[in-house]
Chain A
């Protein structure tokens, strides 16, 4: 398996634009997680899904952020409108039902909002 695949690897956009980050989890994994990492706040869990259903979105900063998982092999994290303070590295991770606490992370998307 190729592991968790995220795209794009880097995104540079201007304030006010819509940003969509994409994630393909490991095949057969039933949980998917979106994290954000900054120097100031460290690694923060934004939202996670079980079997394509959002379970906990308490980490989503505000209504500008939304996440979807239309099927078991794809998820998106959207920011609309984007702001400079959204600049961070966004990671996607997945885990299996039999090993819930072993998460496999993608390479991340480095987002810069100018």
Chain B
């Protein structure tokens, strides 16, 4: 799996858009970008994934650059409940089942 690089921590004001970056410069053509988050004292939660097109669901939007070397997870109107650690993971769709969670980005939503 390609290596990912994320900032250690970020702050965002409540009600504003939270933009979480992820670098994956060694991504290969068949690797997807997945995002999970872990709210304190809970298990990780899948958010969204994409290959090369931008994706949106009820939780977030995922913007992948044209060269696919980086991506941004966008929480359009952050709330205090979005305070969590966010993990960016790059995986092939049909590889083995192991997911390695790195250190992620600790997002603090400020009131």
Interface residues of A (CB under 8 A from B): 4, 31, 33, 42-43, 45, 48, 50, 55-56, 91, 93, 95, 100-108
Q: Which residue numbers of B lie inside 8 Å of A, CB to CB? A: 32, 34, 38, 41-46, 49, 89, 91, 93-103
CB-defined contacts of A106 to chain B, threshold 8 Å = 43
Instruction: Quote the shortest CB–CB distance from A83 to chain B (angstroms).
Output: 24
Contact of A45 among B34, B94, B99 (CB under 8 A): B99
Q: Is the CB of B46 within 8 A of A108?
A: no
Q: Which 6 A-B pairs rank lowest in CB-CB distance, beginning with the nearest? A: A105-B43, A43-B101, A101-B91, A91-B43, A102-B46, A31-B97
Chain B hits for A43, CB < 8 A = 38, 44, 101
Is A100 within 8 A of B43, CB to CB? no
Not counting A91-B43, A105-B45, a sample of 7 additional A-B residue pairs whose C-beta atoms are within 8 angstroms of each other reads A43-B38, A43-B44, A43-B101, A91-B44, A103-B46, A105-B42, A105-B44
